[in-house]
Amino acid sequence: MKSKHTITAIGCVLVLSACGGGGGGGGSDAGAVAQSAPAPAPAPTATAIASVDASKAAENSFSASHLVSAWPSAVPDMLNGVSIAPVDAGLIAPVFDLLKRAYSQQDASLLTGVTRSYSCTEGGSIAVEATQHDPLTPTAGDTWKFTSTNCGASGTIQNGTISAKVTDAAGNLFQSTSGAMTLDVAFGNYSSLQGGVNTVVDGGMKVSVTKMGLSSSTFTTTGTSLQQTIQQSGATIATRTLSSFSVTGSKEGSLLTSAANFSLSGHSNRLGQFAYTVKNVTPFISTATVTPTSGALVITGAGSSVTMTVSPDSVRLDHSDNANGTITSTTTRTWNDFLGDY
């Protein structure tokens, strides 16, 4: 994605093997912060989607969907041994990037709950607090907490925490051609600053991954609440809250598929207050590109809706100003124009 306000995730910022070594410290319970987020407040009243706001409503919804469902081409590569999360990889890629590197460290100190600090390539540091049953194999009960302090690389500065707890594991999806793992993941004021745009995420989700072969895997992502704040030059330009979200996805060869279903509310400087339900009516499919090449997402507001249908180069927006979904206007935008219309 080229959206300036989508969470960035550059793996070399946070990966252990890309950072200089540091000292150790006392341990504590890293799993305590990887618990499920509290139940969200009652959903806000749905807002109408005017024809003039159809693209803005669709862009905010697509970016929110991307945050929890992006499973870019780098992630299957991570599971095969390569671990570099690209820009705009959503939240799943950096989590698995971190864990892939962590489970290849063979660091006995991580087995006992020690906190270690590492220097980042462009300044700052990352503290790693872990309790691991085995240095190479994910095991139920393993816990991780990664705390970044002005950790920089490739022009991105990250702060805040990513915590993870392995709740189920079978085989070793990092070291072999098959395996499965379920994680509880929490983001604590996790921010990424790049080009004057800072994106902050708080909340939790559960991620389950099953790897069936070198180029075949499936995943699900679920959660009760996830908050995203986008800031530019120190001022907040948009906030989003995803509630009751669920995503299913798969990777077969170069073909990546995902479908999401969630409630979305928030505020955008261009759109104002909004509250919608969002659902893929056709799964998004992509290959080598970050943006999908096919699929459709319907965004439903009060007595109105907009359906975004994607192609490799453009997005078609079918707007309905009535509850029965009858199309009343249609526009087509290039991906670049669409992603800037939040």
**Structure confidence at residue 33 as a pLDDT band (50, 70, 90):** very low
Comparing CA positions, the residue from 139, 141, 133, 136 lying closest to residue 180 is 139
- Identify the burial level of 224 via C-beta atoms within 10 angstroms of its C-beta, where 0-12 means exposed, 13-18 middle and 19 or more buried: middle
Looking up tokens 């070793």, which residue turns up? 172
Say what the pLDDT of residue 299 is.
Answer: 97
pLDDT score of 185:
95
**In this predicted structure, what is the pLDDT of residue 214?**
81
Distance in angstroms (rounded) separating the CA atoms of residues 261 and 249: 12
Tell me the domain boundaries of the chain.
11-339
Q: Is the pLDDT of residue 101 over 60?
A: yes
Mean pLDDT is lowest, of 96-100, 144-148, 296-300, 331-335, for 96-100
Confidence at residue 107, expressed as pLDDT on a 0 to 100 scale: 57
Report pLDDT for 195.
82
Mean pLDDT value across residues 108-127: 75
Q: Which pLDDT score is estimated for 78?
A: 38
Tokens representing 67? 């945050």
**H or E, element range at 339:** helix 335-339
pLDDT above 70 covers a percentage of the chain that reads 78
CA dihedral (111, 184, 8, 230) positive or negative: negative
pTM: 0.83
Between the alpha carbon of residue 339 and those of residues 5, 48, 119, 315, the distances in Å are 9, 21, 34, 10
pLDDT surpasses 80 at 8: no
Instruction: List beta partners, residue 231.
Output: 198, 236
Q: What is the mean pLDDT of the chain?
A: 80
Among the residue ranges 81-90, 113-122, 308-317, the one predicted with the least confidence is 81-90
Task: Give the model confidence (pLDDT) of 178-205 as tens digits.
Answer: 999 999 999 999 988 888 888 899 999 9
